[in-house]
């Protein structure tokens, strides 16, 4: 057993939610059933109009580890995450979207990794649920993903991290959390800014302990919106004062959203630069259409 697990530091798990109470129940239960039990679970409701409030009242009464915040205005998931980060009391913190869920050893797995370098951040492989009966495990290529990201500039190529990390709460708080002005690429910008301002690296854990549910009919927080993504590209470039080369590299991340604006030569060049191998393969298979 690791030193961190032996010392049992408090870990905060935050869950932003909006009008998905049935999925929220599953997400919360997956955290409550973690093998590591010294948890603080913060749920932030973005003005839901379904049965969310009744559920939150019930579950908070059942489990003293759970607290919740009710927002007066519906202003998005980034604001909800920041409320949780501001109020977190755990030494470490990680997040969970209300439509996804954890496997039982996720927190314990992160703590075992953090025992080697607790002033760094961690991210993991994920499983993808595409239907009620099918959950896809990470591909072999994903399992051999880079073991660490040493510079924030690497994230210009691709958001290798995904949507959740495990980190000391103070480090995430000092970085400023999620930029609420962004309507897309919020995770990418947050991780980039975090690495840049706190001078830390991200460490990859190949074991997949989170399930991303793409099978339901509810709108996902991360649903692609071309106009928002293009605006986020402009915001990102200006906020971080990217030079021409850096902007060109970042532009490669627009391809999955808006491929028609790129020539086949430009597509291949950008995809090679950004390591988006699977998308490059699909472009070539379609003859660059």
pLDDT, tens only, 211-248 = 999 988 765 544 457 899 999 999 999 999 999 999 99
pLDDT in tens, 46-59: 999 999 999 999 99
Percent of the chain with pLDDT over 90: 73
Scanning the structure block, which residue is given the tokens 């071309």? 226
Residue 162 CA, distance from chain mean position: 5
96 burial (CB, 10 Å; 0-12 / 13-18 / 19+) is buried
Whether the pLDDT of residue 84 is over 90: the answer is yes
Cα–Cα distances in angstroms (integers) from residue 212 to residues 131, 146, 245, in the given order? 11, 21, 33
| CA 209 – CA 103 distance, rounded (Å) | 5
Banded pLDDT at 275 (limits 50, 70, 90)? low
pLDDT at 279 over 60: no
State how far the alpha carbon of 121 is from the alpha carbons of 43, 256, 274, in Å. 22, 27, 22
Range with lowest mean pLDDT among 15-24, 28-37, 125-134, 223-232: 223-232
Which pLDDT does position 284 carry in this prediction?
44
- pLDDT tens-digit map of 125-134: 999 999 989 9
* pLDDT for res 255: 80
Report, as an integer, the average pLDDT of 251-266.
Answer: 70
Q: Has residue 289 got a pLDDT over 90?
A: no
Give the pLDDT mean for 55-82.
97
Between helices 52-62 and 21-32, what is the axis angle to 10°?
20
Q: 155 or 286: whose pLDDT is higher? A: 155
Mean pLDDT of the region 1-18: 88
Phi, psi of 4 (to 5 degrees): -65, -40
Please indicate, yes or no, whether the overall pTM of this predicted structure exceeds 0.95.
Answer: no
The reported pLDDT for the residue numbered 139 is 72
């Amino acid at each position: 057993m690791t030193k961190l697990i032996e010392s049992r530091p408090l870990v905060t798990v935050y869950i932003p939610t909006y009008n998905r109470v049935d999925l929220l129940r599953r997400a919360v239960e997956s955290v409550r059933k973690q093998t590591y039990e010294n948890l603080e679970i913060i749920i932030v409701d973005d003005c839901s109009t379904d049965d969310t409030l009744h559920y939150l009242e019930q579950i908070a009464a059942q489990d003293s580890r759970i607290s919740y915040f009710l927002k007066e205005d519906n202003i998005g998931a980034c604001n909800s995450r920041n409320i949780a980060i501001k109020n977190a009391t755990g030494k470490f913190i990680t997040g969970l979207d209300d439509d996804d869920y954890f496997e039982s050893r996720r927190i314990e797995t992160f703590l075992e990794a953090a025992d080697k370098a607790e002033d760094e951040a961690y991210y993991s492989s994920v499983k993808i649920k595409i239907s009620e009966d099918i959950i896809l495990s990470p591909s072999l290529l994903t399992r051999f993903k880079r073991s660490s990201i040493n510079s924030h500039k690497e994230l210009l190529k691709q958001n290798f991290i995904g949507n959740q990390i495990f980190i000391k709460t103070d480090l995430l708080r000092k970085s400023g959390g999620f930029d609420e002005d962004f309507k897309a690429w919020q995770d990418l910008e947050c991780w980039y800014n975090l690495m840049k301002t706190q001078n830390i690296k991200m460490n990859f854990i190949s074991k997949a302990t989170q399930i991303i549910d793409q099978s339901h009919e509810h709108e996902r927080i991360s649903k692609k919106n071309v106009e928002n993504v293009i605006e986020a590209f402009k915001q990102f470039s200006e906020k971080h004062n990217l030079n021409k080369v850096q902007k060109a590299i970042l532009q490669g991340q627009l391809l999955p959203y808006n491929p028609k604006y790129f020539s086949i030569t430009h597509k291949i060049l950008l995809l090679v630069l950004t390591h988006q191998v699977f998308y490059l393969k699909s472009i070539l298979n379609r003859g660059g259409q």
